[in-house]
Amino acid sequence: MRGFMIEDVLISTDGRIGRIALNRPKAIHALNLAMCQAMIDALLKWRADDGIEAVTIEHSEGRGFCAGGDIRMLAESGAKDGVEARQFFHTEYRLNHLLFTYPKPVVAFMDGITMGGGVGISQPAKYRVATEHTRFAMPETGIGLFPDVGGGWYLPRLEGRVGVFLALTGARLDGAECLALGLATHYLPSEKLAEAKARIAAHPDRIGGILGELSVAAPPAAITRHIDRINRLFASDRYEDILAALEADGGEWAEKELAALHSKSPQTCKVALRQLKEGAVMHDFAAEMAQEYAIGSRVVQMHDFIEGVRALIIDKDNSPKWNPPTPEGVTDDWIDAIFAPLPENETWTPLT
């Protein structure tokens, strides 16, 4: 095996396989700018290398695949001029798009926590492997952000209104649920991952067969029991309607989800609803990423994101003071301004 290391990501080759291993275990492998750029550089090199037939993405050690992006940095930048935050988003979204359009098969091992930025580098992969340790979520509305890194593309393409439910509530899914919803293509016991990686390195032309042979029957997927309820109660693209439907239902499940929504930023819940509605009818992933970049460029400097990070990550008092504090206070004009296209010289573009 040949490779090199920057501090936070390990890049290597193993036979005809390119390997990317996230290496920030103390931060649950949260992505930073250097990691995104290192992955882009490796992927571009391997794309042009006829000796590399496939790529694997995993984590080096610890309890999670990837917990997201460097949220604290984003908030500190947003509280100033936002330049560093926009630079990170621009590079991260280019990585997401590069993976989405990559001509060689990519295998993502979603073993452990897979949230935010971790979703962005696993969902574009042709093969997405879940295990009994997988915990998948897009929890951004809880910190005043929104489900970016392609969330506006992937989530509305899930069954019924499940994507809307995940975007608004930040609900966590286990590996079996990821498999049932199509967020994962295979379910392997974690003890089989080393064998899977070794066999893929030896036979990169047989990835699907190898993963199929090592797969096991997943446990029952709990979320499937609630899909009819989700489709009914989360049917509207108007946030106030969803809250009213949950309140009117009055059941134990509805009350639990209503309580979860009451802790989220009304602004970013409305952003997420519009993002998924528009993303559902887009035909170009690059257009989705350009829109998410415009949204992110603005939201990262707004009160709710800076306050959400303060309350949940810095001070950890879990009592964010959202502004506006109610859904009714977040007007259509407010959301329109967040979604407005950026000036041409500031727009996001994919790698050429």
* Residues noted as catalytic: 69, 117, 140, 148
User: Environment class of residue 280 by beta-carbon count within 10 Å: exposed (0-12), middle (13-18) or buried (19+)?
Assistant: middle
Torsion of CA 44, 48, 52, 55, to 10 degrees: 30
At residue 219, the 3 state secondary structure works out as coil
- The answer to whether the beta carbons of residues 277 and 234 sit under 8 Å apart is no
Helices and strands per DSSP (H, E), number in the chain: 16, 11
Name, in order, each residue with C-beta under 8 angstroms of 199's C-beta and a sequence gap of 6 or more: 206, 210, 214
Name, in order, each residue with C-beta under 8 angstroms of 28's C-beta and a sequence gap of 6 or more: 62, 63, 64, 66, 67, 112, 113
At residue 39, the 3 state secondary structure works out as helix
User: How far is the C-alpha of 184 from the C-alpha of 192, rounded, in Å?
Assistant: 16
